[in-house]
Chain A
């Protein structure tokens, strides 16, 4: 560290990094156990990660691909599986002009290896220990880290009494373009059916299914006011999706009176998805 100029600059030689034993951030070679098609554009990769230290719902991993000529590129992907699972699941959206995602969604097969590091990030995380209510707002593949929270909540409360369950109610507002683009659609519907303290609301902005009576517009303040708890209930709010959706939803929630410190956001970029 150089302090002579009064400017604090830390310069860390990356070649020295392996010598510093920091187990949670080192690159690991995982093995693909299973590949599940979720929607036409998204697949879930179920990974066996050796010595996985465990994670919290909402965290992500960095995936690194190395080409034969040594060119390397990294992308971040949210973890879809709950901390209770032994394996790590990533749900990846295919971006046609992406450098990484077409490889992950089209090429990768069970038995293949994938280099990753994580879990990463301690800000956009939730566990039942933090309590509720829990309000989740997702756009497109922004559902992925929120799904880890819902799965964690369901498993952690599986043996809880009604008091505990009703003490941590959860609501999800999830925006998709088409009904067929709704990631985890059947799973979410089943979760809501068997849990009276979970409410799932879909809004379908472009092609709703026939006979659709639900929301069919982008998430706005009126929709949020309808779905969310009143601010005095102090819900923990997590918003994840494309940058414009996240920013308009977070601004609307603050306008409705929610404490900005309790509205946590994760922006994915212009139209959603991570490489």
Chain B
């Protein structure tokens, strides 16, 4: 992946892990998507409230569950496990899929 950017955290481990155990251990908070989202949105999106298109539960994006991969990040609803948003980076673009968010409510100061 030369020239690509790997937006993950390094994963320390005491021993090899696989499958579900590895997926569990790799789980992060929606917070972990703050960097890539800040390249697209001016307000901080992790403090915005997302409504899951799957189950209707509303939470701050920072309180959702995030799974970081080499190319980007998948953010899921902790209530129903639906994908709320996905962000990925290619050498020339950031690609964002928000079809799992019925709405995103961003706080504003008046």
A1-50, CB < 8 A from B:
7-15, 17, 22, 24-25
**Contact, CB under 8 Å: A272 / B12:** yes
**Contact, CB under 8 Å: A14 / B9:** no
**Residue B75 is within 8 A (CB to CB) of chain A in the complex:** no
Residues of B within 8 A of A (CB): 1-14, 17, 24-32, 34-35, 38-40, 42, 44, 46-47, 60-63, 89, 92-99
**Contact, CB under 8 Å: A243 / B28:** yes
Which residues of B lie under 8 Å from residue A60 when comparing CB positions? 34
**Contact, CB under 8 Å: B26 / A269:** yes
* CA distance in complex: A93, B17 (Å): 21
Count contacts on A: residues with CB < 8 A to the other chain. 52
Q: Closest residue to B59 on the A side, CB-wise? A: A261
Q: Hey, what's the 0/1 contact readout for A44-83 against B, CB within 8 Å counting as 1? A: 0000000000000000101010000111111110000000
Residues of A within 8 A of B (CB): 7-15, 17, 22, 24-25, 60, 62, 64, 69-76, 95, 97-101, 117, 120-124, 243-244, 247, 261, 264-275
Write 30 A-B pairs (CB below 8 A) sorted by A numbering: A7-B99, A9-B98, A11-B96, A12-B40, A12-B96, A17-B39, A71-B1, A72-B3, A74-B5, A98-B12, A100-B10, A120-B44, A121-B46, A122-B34, A122-B62, A123-B34, A123-B60, A124-B62, A243-B24, A243-B26, A244-B24, A261-B63, A265-B63, A266-B29, A266-B31, A269-B10, A270-B25, A270-B26, A271-B13, A272-B12
Which residues of A lie under 8 Å from residue B60 when comparing CB positions? 123
* CA distance in complex: A156, B4 (Å): 42
Which residues of B lie under 8 Å from residue A15 when comparing CB positions? 92
Q: Closest residue to A263 on the B side, CB-wise? A: B63
Report whether over half of chain A's contact residues are helix, strand or loop; otherwise say mixed.
Answer: mixed
Which residues of A lie under 8 Å from residue B25 when comparing CB positions? 243-244, 269-270
Task: Indicate whether A14 sits within 8 Å of B89 (C-beta atoms), given known contacts A8-B99, A123-B46.
Answer: yes
**Contact, CB under 8 Å: B31 / A74:** no
**Contact, CB under 8 Å: B2 / A122:** no
Which residues of B lie under 8 Å from residue A120 when comparing CB positions? 34-35, 38, 44
Which residues of A lie under 8 Å from residue B6 when comparing CB positions? 72-74
